[in-house]
Amino acid sequence: MFETLVLVCMIGTSNICHTLADLEGPYETKQECLSRAYEIAADLPAYMPNFQAMKYKCVEIEDNEDKVRT
């Protein structure tokens, strides 16, 4: 399973950045995770118009079905 993370920074500066964690995942395959990262980057201007997606990362996580995501 993979979790999508996207680093976004304010346009014109590289010292004001945030890491966005996807709320829809985790994803079964790395390709699904990468697709979601690109989707987040494409939707970013509508939600955070002064920010630009800089990097993404698909983090492999353990599949613990008995745990509840909060």
Q: What is the pLDDT of residues 20-50, one digit of tens each?
A: 999 998 999 999 999 999 999 999 999 999 9
Q: Is 68 inside any structural domain?
A: no
Mean pLDDT of the chain: 89
Residue 67: exposed, middle, or buried by beta-carbon count in 10 A (0-12, 13-18, 19+)? exposed
Q: Is 8 inside any structural domain?
A: yes
Q: Is 24 inside any structural domain?
A: yes
Work out how many domains the chain is built from and give that number: 1
Q: Is 65 inside any structural domain?
A: no
How confident is the model over 10-28, as a mean pLDDT? 90
Q: Which helix (H) or strand (E) holds 34?
A: helix 30-47
